[in-house]
Structure 1
């Protein structure tokens, strides 16, 4: 037998290494759940994308409210549940929890939701068709919101959910930018397209990096982080979403730790309900909203090595337990044994993302079937305000 020389061995190793790169490795296919979701949504996605292709950018600079303490580029909104005081009509507004004041300024929020709708539709259509025309249109909107000095939005929420006579802005307003999550995710989906120029992608990431830093270091951001209900969940959900776009692994790791050690153990009861949401005047809607947010956190943060979908606290709390608790009431709302919501009771549920994400994570066909039957295109503003994930395909 001939002795294998070092040179021969080197050639063999080189040949095998080249062979490994010469043959295409099979890419993981779509899950059964993802295929079913695409079949359910495809017609709606293409119709939405057709609408989005015709839309011009409208940013915060298109609207100004004289009650705002900020400038032209500052996002401004007024707290939904604050109203004039009947005993002092010209004085500070008073809180009426759960009761939306239709006269408050929300034009910036509406513009942001419209932006999210546009990018979500374009990214979804690009994902299922590969047509770069959708990316070209998205770039126009990215530049307007994040890069163009005439129309961009400043990367902070200092003046969100203000209260007349009391606050020029509050930490609670940070929840308004949950509607930027599908914008950030849309960038991730479209980033490698030829139509996405590197300068635009870099400019968008720079904006989101600055906003993430503000969320994590500013006084309002820290205050929102330390709340104890859906606001803290949504703070973490946003930070995770934006950090993933910016590939900030340190922040992503910190959000995984926060989910395991703060959000899940402190907000969920042993039976899977969220007591602080149950205590609100809209317990049904807020329970759904918080579960959607926690499920989205799991969808964003889970990795093969750190899968939050299978994480369980020592006393048995888990996202699966949360879904198992709420699912029967979403599948059949007549089973809800607690008080009905004071407003919008008839408008929930819709096609909640926790159903689809959970179905995909646990291969639960019943959850998928329920999701398929629910409304995928809600029109009620309050529902849309509390439904940041309206284009779930870009998250799968």
Structure 2
């Protein structure tokens, strides 16, 4: 027996190590292949969007205003989407019509922020593909306007977001509007070494101040506790901005929040999100929430704490969520629940949960679904509820 151990165990161990090494090499090659395939799929779209972005001048919150805001020139302001004038009394406080967007509400600041996000995301994507410094220079022009210039910058808080005429000057749920700043933060992170140190430092300081407001203001605390897509998007934003600023304490907080609150508190045993399914837009909200959770996993996973492989004690996991929803994204006709009251025909598009999941689990089926979907949506409702529009900068 001792002779067997002496001569055969070392050989067996060597063979196992060689096999493991080969498997690891294959895995690394597969990951590289997926990223190359993403570039191949998106190259023409990215470069076209970057051409557009190169011609755009900055437009910030100071370019438009509303007489109904309680804030000032530099304060972000928006109004709740589903709130309408009372048919019985036009001077009365607005009334809710869930899922029905009022086109007359003030959303100019939100649209400006979406535009900012699209510009920086497109420029960062083009820079990743080409390495050309012109894209960085153009991005800095917009970053300076939003975060540095005394005349045009935005205050780092959201006290007046999703206001309701006659009811609230702002609400915690308005914090969801700044998911549009995530690709700005990610773009800066990607281009950081090519940017001016002053611009990077100023942008990081703005996001530090915003994070402090998010974590201490009653609006932020209320949004954090929401057990639906609002709570998910709160964690997703904090993770994104904390990654840019290098705040390891907040990153750890977000990982624990995902594992102990978001996943077990929102997901059913079949991988669905019951609170999203109960809304008037169950399909779109389910997609939106899963996109946000997958983005959290993409942002926060490390070798030591991999959220892609995490499973709650109740058996909830991000993989189960993707397995539940992906068949309905591949073929919407399979959806057996009620259709969304608005924008039913405009979903799905190239949802990030499919791409991030395909990369994490080496699932070519999910990648193929993602590849065939629309990578350049034009509908405003879809664009604002798509937290990742430039996936190249996240890989």
Question: Does the TM-score normalized on the shorter chain lie above 0.5?
Answer: yes
CA distance in 1, matches of 2:328, 2:56: 38
Match of 1:164 in 2: 165
Describe how 1:186-225 pairs up with structure 2 within 5 A: 186-193=187-194, 196-225=195-224
CA distance in 2, matches of 1:95, 1:142: 36
1:148-200 per-position Cα deviation (integer Å, ceiling 9, x unaligned): 1110000000000000000000001000000000000000000011xx11011
User: Structure 1 residue runs of 4+, over 3 Å off?
Assistant: 27-30
- Specify the SS of the correspondent of 1:256: helix
Q: Does 1:335 find its partner at 2:334?
A: yes
1:30 positional shift: 5.7
Q: Does 1:244 find its partner at 2:243?
A: yes
Match of 2:391 in 1: 392
CA distance in 1, matches of 2:34, 2:86: 50
Describe how 1:15-164 pairs up with structure 2 within 5 A: 31-164=32-165
Match of 1:322 in 2: 321
- Specify the SS of the correspondent of 1:31: helix
Q: Structure 1 regions of 5+ residues with no counterpart?
A: 1-26
1:315-363 per-position Cα deviation (integer Å, ceiling 9, x unaligned): 2100000000001100000000100000000000000000000000001
User: Are the counterparts in 2 of residues 98 and 282 from structure 1 also a CA contact under 8 Å?
Assistant: yes
Q: Does 1:263 find its partner at 2:253?
A: no
CA distance in 2, matches of 1:174, 1:315: 30
- Specify the SS of the correspondent of 1:200: helix
User: Are the counterparts in 2 of residues 181 and 238 from structure 1 also a CA contact under 8 Å?
Assistant: yes
TM-score, scaled relative to structure 2: 0.92
Match of 1:297 in 2: 296
User: Are the counterparts in 2 of residues 31 and 360 from structure 1 also a CA contact under 8 Å?
Assistant: no
CA distance in 2, matches of 1:315, 1:165: 43
CA distance in 2, matches of 1:297, 1:32: 23
Higher helix share: 2
Change (3 A) 1:285 1:212: same
CA RMSD of aligned residues (A): 1.0
- Specify the SS of the correspondent of 1:66: coil
1:388 positional shift: 1.9
CA distance in 2, matches of 1:29, 1:230: 32
1:351-394 per-position Cα deviation (integer Å, ceiling 9, x unaligned): 00000000000011111111111011111111111012100010
Number of matched pairs:
368
User: Are the counterparts in 1 of residues 124 and 190 from structure 2 also a CA contact under 8 Å?
Assistant: yes
User: Are the counterparts in 1 of residues 31 and 359 from structure 2 also a CA contact under 8 Å?
Assistant: no
1:31 positional shift: 2.0
- Specify the SS of the correspondent of 2:388: coil
- Specify the SS of the correspondent of 2:78: strand
User: Are the counterparts in 1 of residues 77 and 109 from structure 2 also a CA contact under 8 Å?
Assistant: yes
User: Are the counterparts in 2 of residues 77 and 162 from structure 1 also a CA contact under 8 Å?
Assistant: yes
CA distance in 2, matches of 1:210, 1:258: 21
CA distance in 2, matches of 1:85, 1:29: 57
CA distance in 1, matches of 2:386, 2:352: 9
- Specify the SS of the correspondent of 1:160: strand
User: Are the counterparts in 1 of residues 291 and 387 from structure 2 also a CA contact under 8 Å?
Assistant: no
Q: Structure 2 regions of 5+ residues with no counterpart?
A: 1-27
1:207 positional shift: 0.1
TM-score, scaled relative to structure 1: 0.92
1:29 positional shift: 9.3
1:31-52 per-position Cα deviation (integer Å, ceiling 9, x unaligned): 2211111100001101111111
CA distance in 2, matches of 1:321, 1:28: 26
CA distance in 2, matches of 1:73, 1:104: 19
CA distance in 1, matches of 2:29, 2:140: 29
